[in-house]
Structure 1
Amino acid sequence: MIENYLKVAWRNMLKHPLNTGLNIFGLTLGLVSCILMMLYVVDELSYDRFHSRAERIFRINTYAKFGGTEQDLAETPDPIGPTLKNDFPQVEAYVRFFTQNGSRLVRKGNEYLEEPRTVFADSTLFKVFDLPVRSGNPETALVRPNSVVITESTAKKYFGSTDAVGKTVEVDKSPYYVSAVIQDIPSNSHFHFDFIFPMSGLDYGWGNFLTTNFNTYILLKDGVDHRIFDKNLATVITKYIYPQAKELLKLKSPEDFNRGDTRFQFNLTALTDIHLRSNRRGEIEANGNMQFVSIFTAVAIFVLLIACINFMNLSTARSTARAKEVGVRKVLGTSRSSLIGQFMTESIFTAALSLVLAGGLTWLAIPFFNQIAAKELSIRYLVNPYVVSVFVCLPVLVGLLAGSYPAFFLSGFKPIAMLKTNTGNPAGKNSFRDILVVFQFITCIMLMIGTIIIYRQLSYIQTKNLGFNKEQILIIDGARALGEHTESFKNEFMGLPGVTSGTVSGFLPISPSLRNGQTLARQADRSPENMFDTQSWVVDVDYIKTMGMKIVKGRGFSRGFGSDENGIIINQSLAKLLGYPDPVGHLLYSGDPGQKPFTVIGVVEDFHYESLRSNIGPLFFSLGTHPDRMAFRVDAGASPAVLKQAEKLWKAAATGAPFQYRFMDEAFDAMYRTEQRVGEVAVIFAVVAILIACMGLFGLATYMADQRRREIGIRKVLGANPSEIVSLLSSDFLKPVLIAILIACPLGYYCMGQWLGNFAYRIDVEWWILVTASLLAIFIALLTVSFQSLKAALTNPVKSLQNE
């Protein structure tokens, strides 16, 4: 019987190639879109799950609030890890990362390469994380200060092979011997390091519970409930932090840490939650967003449903062509269950063909999708047991879903009506098909609204007044390679035609750049109510001019004022926090009692030094040098010549070091690359969803025109002109589209309002966006049905009425 079903299915597919092609093409597009988006979602959800003990690994975070400021940090004081291991038997192991040293210069032959992915780590690294060691001893790899662990790709890069253990590599002009070679860290990890140095080699003031510079992870013993263990972290504050902070902050009891507007707490984040559910200051890398995962999951499901709806509409549109076949088979004794089986087999067979095509197209599309989404997905993601099982079941599920309505619809035709009129569906309401069309266009309109708003928000980010001028600023990275030639290089560079100003500082208002938090007090007594956290940036005299910032009160740094050594320039947010009518001349006290007080000499206009997802926080500049980067303002049109001359100056001053540069506007745009990628992906799948919906609408238009051909013929005989016929048919299709607009606009407004809530500075969801998406949907619907409407309107009525 199944063989007969398949033969009939194949013959019907060949008999109606256009309908078959639309069915298969629609399902294939929906399946490809669904597969790609689900691969993206699976990859995002897989972060850090490759560690065998992932469910027992937690990162410790620090939350601090006092003096009107608050910080939610992914970092902790350095003693927290050892303290928890010593005091709590529930902790099996700990490991700390220190990443604040930034890039390192590594020698390769006669040149130096800048390596940004470097870290200091405890020797317990391999007890917590699964980082397979290809060669070397993991127990001793991170013990000796002058050793380093490198990845396989790094070993090949510097030594030509992975056989690198025992060999020496020069880092920042100091020799390090390779103690181990590890497998490259998978892409679905929240950290990626190429050089791992032992913590014993870090020059640091150990034992301070009041500074937070380390990413600390603990491995809990099997069976320990992390929610219960989390409560133990409060005892660390009482036992260790309070004694160090008591005199400094003038505390009377440990409870002062959590009284009024003052808070100081530690909390845990599960390793598997870091990538999608953590956006704290001090993250090792930029993380993903759970909201995007939810959006992509919903879109994947909706696009597949749209494809199935399209299949239903196209199948029912061809129902009249098969009415006589069904009538004859019913008269000959074929049961309704057999007819349902026939039609469901055809649906599953069509879905199977679509799935085969979708698999091939997905394989071809993965490189393109990876480029847009910045992923490393590959066809191997499709061959694991879970995905294979889904692939086996998918044709059946899609076939059942897409073929259920046509099967019951066609098998329910009355044989007498079929054989008499060649159609078994008397005139009546098509409410279910209208519901399907409404659902399709709700999804399409919401995708259009989302796409417009994403691009509007990105445009707003790119054109907003940032408080500094990001245009025409050339950034040179790795400036510390210049050593004692830093100042002379800057002066020579400033002498190039087209260069108007320059600065030496690692602190720039883009990411990634140096960030440094510091605690200040309004009064010398340093009581908690007088203290607050702020950003502290070391800059030179020319920094404000080069960045195009504006002094709104007081003055900037000057070489003519010897007092600027202890002078600071604060931003407007810090001035507002202080509450003084004019903060210029006031003293601010460091959290370190041994340090001289700062004198406010000026106020700079607020500028965005983090992404626009965050509010502008308090910040101050102090005068000094931090030769990590250089930035020069270059006249428009002079960049090519300046770059050519700059490279020559660099090679003469920093022999062997790579000349690496970028422009600030490009670096700024990179901060929002995730949103840009989401916008591009949204456009692609919005187009796919609209295309599939149009195919379904085309099928419905075909069906309706066929159903009403006699009515149209009579109207034409009675004098109706083609424009009236087109208007009549088109109005029927506008009704479900208008209903979809009424539902989709408020839904789209709410969903995109939630997304915009991630930005501290954002656009409003304006009415014209909803109107534009609605008009676009109407235009697309009319364009889709116009062909069939015109065809029906121009048909000779004799052909429609010849059997009457």
Structure 2
Amino acid sequence: MLTNYLKIAWRTLRKQQGFTFINIFGLAVGLACCMLIMLYVLDELSFDQYNAKADRIYRIQTHLKFGGNDMNFALSPDPIGPTLKKDYPQVEQFVRLHRSGTWSVRRTGEPTSLREDNITFADSTLFDVFTLPLVSGDPKRALAEPNTVVISESAAKRHFGNQNPMGQTMLFDNNKTFKVSGVMRDMPQNSHFRSDFFLTMLNDDYEWGQWLSNNHYAYILLKPGTNPAVFAKNFDTIIEKYIGPQALQTVGTTMEQFRKAGNEIGYWLIPLTDIHLYSKQQYELAPNGDIQYVYIFSAVALFILLIACINFMNLATARSAKRAKEVGVRKVMGSERQQLIGQFMTESILTTVLAMVLALFIVAVALPAFNGLAAKEMSLRQLVSPYYLPLLVALPIVVGLLAGSYPALFLSSFQPITVLKGKINVSFRSAGLRSGLVVFQFMMSVILIVGTIIVYRQITYIQTKNVGFNRNQVLSVFGVYSIGKQAETFKQEVLRMPGVVSGSISGYLPTPSSRSDNSFFAEGQSNLNQGINMQNWGVDYDYLKTMGMQLVQGRGFSRDFGSDSSGIIINEAAVKVLGFKDPVGKRVWRFTDNQAKNRKTYTILGVIKNFHFESLRRNISALSLVLDSNSGAASFRLSSTDLPAVVKQIEAKWKQVAPGQPFSYQFMDDSFDEMYRAEQRIGTIALTFAALAILIACLGLFGLAAFMAEQRTKEIGVRKVLGASVGSIIGLLSKDFLKLVFISIIIASPIAWYAMNQWLSDFAYKIDIEWWMFALAGILAVGIALLTVSFQSIKAALMNPVKSLRSE
């Protein structure tokens, strides 16, 4: 029986080649989109799952409301991990990470350094918590001694080639020597942080025991059976037992007074496997994903597949007139309805299987480009792995059953007497279900178009918004600290070059870079609850000029005033929080360590206009600038139109001043754009899948238009004989479809508005959703539908009426 079903199904597919192509190609594109998105979603959901103890690992996060700021950090105080391990038996182990940024690195004896970004200080317990297999070395001892480092296999290959790195020494920033005590496998890409170098925490130059500072990433491994929600209640005890006494000793205020002033401090646990998709805290180790996008793309995959299935159902039921007599004859010859359903379902599943084969080919071809688009390293092997292979096999069967169920039930329900007399009516206008399905297809297409327009408008807004500083043609050279006192010499040499307007040396840039929070107090204030929390950046005399920042009051730093070493410049947000009406000349102070007597006082020299130094997802917070010799990067404002030539000159000067040190640079506008690279990728992916969804919908519309023209051939012939013009016939054939598209626009608009309004709510600075965005999406949808239908309409309208009216 099955063999017979397959033979008839194959003959039917070959006989109707045009409709077969539309069905198979439409389903193939839908299945390919579904598989690509499924790979993306599975990759996002797999973050940190490689850790054997992932279900028991938690990161400690901080909530701090103080000094006009309400902040959530991925960081926590350095003593919190060891204290929890000491005081609570539920904690099996802890580990702290301290991201060290970018260093110049080389093996001892090598003349040239390489710029390495992924360098992290870690406790010796690192390998007890995380699953990071060592190919060489003892995980228990690898980071237990001073001046030791564990490197990845990739780093070993870069610095040692085919030599064994174990026991050899490496030079970091030209003055710190570490011995290689272990080589680990490269960390998986689906990890919320990645590092090629783990330096022992014993060499982290840090003043330990600071409960009032948050500078480390702390992870705890809870013992099996521990309830994390119950355990987290112990943080209240930690605050009272350790943070309260240090706050009292340092600034003379109790936690009760701190809270009465409207301030808050607290800690909570986030599961390791939730960090990538659910954590949106300040100072994450790396840019995280967003569960919102997982939901969105999962829905898009489902809708694209439904659109493809709807095409199949529409075309199958539309062609029912061609199959009606076949059904009647089969029933008269004794076929039961179940057998007819089996026949039609076999055709559907065969079509889907053929589409699946084509879809796998499309995925194999498109995956490299999709990886580049999504910044992933996904492979087709993930789909054919034992874990997902059953799903892959089941997918065409499920889709075949879904797409073929209604046509099979519809076709098998024909009464033989009715169809053999030719009385069955399957006109397009009477097919309410098909109309509803077409509306659904274009509704989803319009929603995707609106979403794409709004995403791109928001990205454009971000890129063109006046952010309070001039990021155009500013070149930042990194790793300047590695040349020590030569940094100023390098700056002066570059300033002599034509095309260089100004230059500044500072590791604090208004783009992703170093950050430093400090608590400041107005003169005369002494209690912690009277202070403000603000960024405190060390800069040089030329910083404001080079960054194009605008003074609104007072003056900037000047070499003419020796007292400027104790001066400070604040932004408008800081003035508002401090409550100063005339801030210039006022004095503020901060603690320099955990001792209440050790303070430094600053005089406010000027106020700069607010500028965005964080993502536009956040409001501008308080910030201050002080004179300090921070040599993380040298930034130069350029005026030359031949930027590549100037960069080459600067590179040549760098190699002269810093032989053997890597020349690493980036233009500031590129660095600024990196903050929104995720949104740009999402916008491009959304545009791609919106185009594919429209393509699939148009394939179905094209097939339905062909069927409609075929069904109304004689009507068109009669109208032409009676004098109807080609234009009127085209309008007649197109209006039914355009009416459905207009209905889909009306339904889609409020849904798209709500969805995109939710997406924009993540941004503190955002565009307004305007009416023209929906009008543009509607015009595009109508235009696309009209172009799709017009080909068949014109073809039918130009047909010779003599042929169309000829007797059968």
For Structure 1 versus Structure 2, the TM-score category normalised by the shorter chain is: over 0.9
In the TM superposition, residue 72 of structure 1 has moved relative to its aligned partner by: 1.0
Aligned residue number for residue 42 of structure 1: 42
Query: Could you say what secondary structure the match of 2:177 adopts?
Result: strand
Partner-residue secondary structure (3-state), 2:269: strand
Q: Are 1:6 and 2:6 an aligned pair?
A: yes
C-alpha displacement at 1:198, in angstroms?
Answer: 0.8
Match of 1:152 in 2: 153
Are 1:518 and 2:523 matched, yes or no?
Answer: no
Identity across matched positions, percent: 52
Greater shift after overlay, 294-303 or 385-394?
385-394
Structure 1 residues 427 and 583, CA gap change in structure 2 (3 angstroms): closer
> What amino acid does structure 1 have at the position aligned with 2:236?
A
Provide structure 2 residue ranges, at least 5 long, that are not aligned to the other structure: none
Give the distance between the partners of 1:161 and 1:259, measured in 2 at CA. 63
Provide the residue aligned with 2:650 in structure 1.
646
**Partner residue in 2 for 1:586:** 586
Task: Output the CA distance in 2 between the equivalents of 1:29 and 1:422.
Answer: 37
Match of 1:722 among 712, 716, 726: 726
Q: Provide the C-alpha distance between the structure 1 equivalents of 2:428 and 2:300, rounded to a whole number of angstroms.
A: 35
User: Bigger shift: 635-644 or 290-299?
Assistant: 635-644
For residues 403-430 of structure 1, what are the alpha-carbon distances to aligned partners after superposition, in whole Å with 9 as ceiling and x for unaligned? 1122122222333443343966368621
* Matching residue of 2:450: 449
Is 1:417–1:424's contact at 8 Å kept on the other side of the alignment? Answer: no
Aligned-partner Cα distance in 1 for 2:666–2:67: 38
Q: Is 1:183 aligned with 2:202? A: no
Matches within 5 A, 1:656-667: 656-667=660-671
User: How far 1:707 moved relative to its partner?
Assistant: 2.9
Asked if the contact 1:506–1:626 (Cα under 8 Å) also holds between the matched residues in 2, the reply is: yes
Q: CA deviation at 1:639?
A: 1.8
Matched, 1:337 2:341: no
* 2: CA distance, partners of 1:426 / 1:539: 77
Contact (CA 8 Å) 1:523, 1:530: kept in 2 or not? no
> Do structure 1's residue 691 and structure 2's residue 683 form an aligned pair?
no
1:794 and 1:336 mapped to 2: Cα distance?
42
Q: Summarize the alignment of residues 302-381 of structure 1 with structure 2, pairs less than 5 Å apart.
A: 302-381=303-382
Aligned residues: 802
Residue 125 (structure 2) aligns with: 124
2: CA distance, partners of 1:751 / 1:162 = 55
Q: Which moved more, 1:87-96 or 1:522-531?
A: 522-531
Instruction: Check 1:424–1:341 CA distance in 2 against 1; reply closer, same or farther (3 A cut).
Output: farther
Q: 1:761 aligns with which of 762, 765, 790?
A: 765
Q: Is the 8 A contact 1:701 1:785 kept in 2?
A: yes
Conserved 8 A contact 1:67-1:528: no
**RMSD of aligned alpha carbons:** 1.6
SS of 1:81's partner is helix
The equivalences for 1:347-746 within 5 A come to 347-421=348-422, 425=426, 429-511=430-512, 513-592=513-592, 593=596, 594-746=598-750
Corresponding residue for 1:195? Answer: 197
Aligned equivalent of 1:240: 242
How far is the alpha carbon of 1:162 from its aligned partner?
7.2
Deviates more, 1:766-775 or 1:158-167: 158-167
Q: What is the CA distance between 1:696 and its match in structure 2?
A: 1.1
Give the letter for the 2:117 counterpart.
P
**Residue 368 of structure 1: how far off its partner (Å):** 0.8
SS in 2 for 1:208: coil
CA shift, 1:402, in A, is 0.8
1:219 paired residue number: 221
Separation in structure 2 between the aligned mates of residue 591 and residue 754 of structure 1, nearest angstrom: 42
Pair 1:138 & 2:139 matched: yes
Deviation at 1:748, TM superposition (A): 0.7
Which digits, 9 at most, give the CA deviation of each residue in 1:232-289, with x for residues without a partner? 111000000100101433324x333433521011111111111111121121111111
Correspondence for 2:293: 292
The one-letter code of the counterpart of 2:791 is F
| CA distance in 2 between partners of 1:303 and 1:194 (Å) | 40
Measure, in 2, the Cα distance between the counterparts of 1:562 and 1:570: 19
* Change over 3 Å in CA distance of 1:715–1:260 after alignment to 2: farther
Answer yes or no: is 1:19 the counterpart of 2:31.
no
| Local SS of the residue matching 1:734 | helix
User: 332-341 vs 31-40, which deviates more?
Assistant: 332-341
Secondary structure of 1:385's match?
Answer: coil
For the residue of structure 2 that corresponds to 1:170, the secondary structure is strand
Cα deviations by residue, 1:498-546 (Å, 9 ceiling, x for unpaired): 10100000000111x1100001112444323311110000000000000
Single out whichever of 202-211 and 106-115 deviates more from structure 2: 106-115
Q: Tell me the secondary structure at the aligned position of residue 76 of structure 2.
A: coil
Q: Structure 2 CA distance, aligned partners of 1:387 and 1:365?
A: 20
Task: In structure 1, list runs of 5 or more residues that go unmatched.
Answer: none
Q: Please tell me whether the aligned partners of residues 257 and 264 of structure 1 are also in contact (alpha carbons under 8 angstroms).
A: no
**Separation in 2, partners of 1:493, 1:44:** 45
The TM-score with structure 1 as length reference comes to 0.97
Q: Kindly state the Cα deviation for residue 640 of structure 1 after the two structures are TM-superposed.
A: 2.2
Distance 1:180 1:529 in 2: 47
Q: CA deviation at 1:77?
A: 0.9
Q: 1:101 to 1:662 in 2, by over 3 A?
A: closer
SS of corresponding position for 1:117? strand
Q: Cα distance, 1:384 vs. partner?
A: 2.1
Which residue in 2 is equivalent to 1:53?
Answer: 53
Q: Which moved more, 1:28-37 or 1:399-408?
A: 399-408
Indicate how the Cα distance of structure 1 residues 476 and 119 shifts in structure 2: closer, same or farther if over 3 A, else same. Answer: same
For the residues of structure 2 that align with 1:775 and 1:22, how far apart are their CA atoms?
Answer: 25
Question: How much does 1:96 deviate?
Answer: 0.1
Q: Residue 85 of structure 1: SS of its match in structure 2?
A: helix
Encode CA deviations 1:299-335: one digit per residue, 9 max, x unaligned. 1111111111111122223333333322222221212
1:754 alignment partner AA: Q
Q: Match of 1:59, SS?
A: strand
Alpha-carbon separation, structure 2, partners of 1:492 and 1:315? 76
- SS of corresponding position for 1:99: strand
Summarize the Cα distance change of 1:532–1:316 in structure 2 as closer, same or farther, 3 Å threshold.
same
**Which piece of structure 1 moves more, 604-613 or 641-650?**
641-650
Residue of structure 1 equivalent to 2:93: 93
Please state whether the residue corresponding to 2:541 is helix, strand or coil.
Answer: coil
Q: Secondary structure at the match of 1:103?
A: strand
Corresponding residue for residue 268 of structure 1: 269
Opposite residue 559 of structure 1, the aligned amino acid is R
The 10-residue stretch of structure 1 (657-666 or 592-601) with the greater mean CA deviation from structure 2: 592-601
Distance in 2, Cα, partners of 1:422 & 1:343: 22
SS of residue paired to 2:399: helix
Distance, in Å, in 1 between the alignment partners of 2:657 and 2:767 is 47
Rounded Cα–Cα distance in structure 2 between residues aligned with 1:426 and 1:85: 75
Change (3 A) 1:427 1:142: closer
Matches within 5 A, 1:60-79: 60-79=60-79
SS where residue 724 of structure 2 aligns?
coil
The answer (yes or no) to whether the contact 1:323–1:424 under 8 Å persists in 2 is no
Q: 1:116 is paired with a residue of what secondary structure?
A: strand
State the 1:723 CA deviation.
Answer: 2.1
Instruction: Measure the CA separation in 2 of the matches of 1:709 and 1:660.
Output: 70
For residue 107 of structure 1, report the CA deviation from its aligned partner: 4.1
Is the deviation greater in 31-40 or in 585-594?
Answer: 585-594
Q: Which residue of 1 aligns with 2:782?
A: 778
